[in-house]
Amino acid sequence: MFEISDETLRLIKRASRGKKHLKLTVGYLIDNNPVIKIYNEHGELDSSNKYYYEIGSITKTFTASLLSKYVFENKLSINDSIQKYIEELKEHEYYPTLLRLATHSSGYSQTLPLNKREYLNIMFGLIFGNGDFNKNNPLNMDINKMEMLIEKNKLKEVDYSWKYSNFGISLIGYCLGIVSGRGYWDTMNDFLYNELGLRDTYLGISNNNLQGFNRKNIDCGNWEWNKENLISAAGAISSTADDLLQYAKINIHEDKPYLSLCHKKHGNRTKKYDMGLGWLLLKNNNNVILHGGGTGCFSSFLGIDKEKKVASVVLANYRLGRNDDENIGISLLESLQKSNDI
């Protein structure tokens, strides 16, 4: 019987220290069975409670999954330019393809849709715990701002190096909404519920029973999202550990054949990772796919080994210390991998 390792428990204890209102959910999938553990600063809690978390950038993997579905159904091509779907853009100009957006190789900067000053203010707030995130989502962007930023940030038809881009993923979401004719918000919620069968995963925070807290244990509330905020495709989903492990199982078994497109290597990221569609792939083992996320005062991580058929998830209603959620998740995933070798 699998037990969480002492090293993973040490990382959980370190990440929990001093967080008075913490609900840290750690889950794993082994032998197709999900197991959920919940912790606070004093130790393990009753695991029968179900908590809903903002999962931030793990949303990008869902957006990429919907993109792969539309490619599979020949509703669009991964090599289409966004100009094909955003009619207001100027003719005879270069605009990036959906593939370059999905692999963060479009050339759009990391700060968009924020300017550099707004971006730095957020980063300092997260680092020092001074950010005012109470019902304040700084990443608001409507269609007019989106078009303005596209035209203002001219790109060339060259191979740009990897650069993480919320803005790029949001453009994919907008294009998917155009193809469906229903907009990204309604299309994605339908995809989550009816296609993937995830009953506790949705855009926004309508059912959330947790609020976020910063490093000073100050209530940050939740980020507010709405249909008009086009950056939703990059980070607006809320979910539970149970649903994310169910999502992991769907990806492991590729119950939806189009998901294989997301799991293939489409580009390079760093010395450690390659890029699938939306997913990071471990460079020395592309069977391992993962993604992390964070909103104002929430942290998340999901890691999957498709070959070993194991997965780990970490969710917290705090913005954890640097890479704490990833460290816990990877430590747990590595223990699961070793367990399945026995």
Distance CA 111, CA 115 (A): 6
CA angle 79, 85, 87 (to 5 degrees): 135
pLDDT at site 207: 87
Distance CA 311, CA 286 (A): 14
Residue-wise pLDDT tens digits, 77-118: 999 999 999 988 998 899 999 999 999 999 999 899 887 777
Nearest to 113 by CA among 176, 55, 173, 158: 173
Judge whether 315 and 37 are in contact, CB under 8 Å: no
Nearest to 339 by CA among 309, 314, 301: 309
Domains of the chain, earliest start first: 6-258+288-341 (3.40.710.10)
Instruction: Specify the residue for token string 């978390």.
Output: 53
pTM for this prediction: 0.95
Q: E-assigned strands of the chain?
A: 24-30, 33-40, 43-45, 53-54, 202-203, 212-213, 219-221, 237-239, 267-268, 273-275, 280-282, 285-294, 299-305, 310-316
Q: What proportions of the chain, in percent to the nearest 5, are helix, strand and coil? A: 35, 20, 45
Kindly list the distances between the CA atom of residue 179 and the CA atoms of 16, 55, 139, in Å, as whole numbers in the listed order: 44, 25, 24
Kindly list the distances between the CA atom of residue 277 and the CA atoms of 86, 126, 161, 201, 262, in Å, as whole numbers in the listed order: 21, 28, 16, 20, 4
pLDDT at site 159: 85
pLDDT at site 123: 62
Instruction: Specify the residue for token string 């931030």.
Output: 56
Distance CA 260, CA 242 (A): 22
pLDDT at site 92: 87
Residue 257 preceded by cis peptide, ω within 30:
no
Sign of CA dihedral 293, 155, 273, 192: positive
pLDDT at site 114: 85
Distance CA 338, CA 342 (A): 7
pLDDT at site 296: 87
Tokens of 308: 């070993």
For the chain, list residues with pLDDT below 70: 122-136, 342
Distance CA 74, CA 68 (A): 10
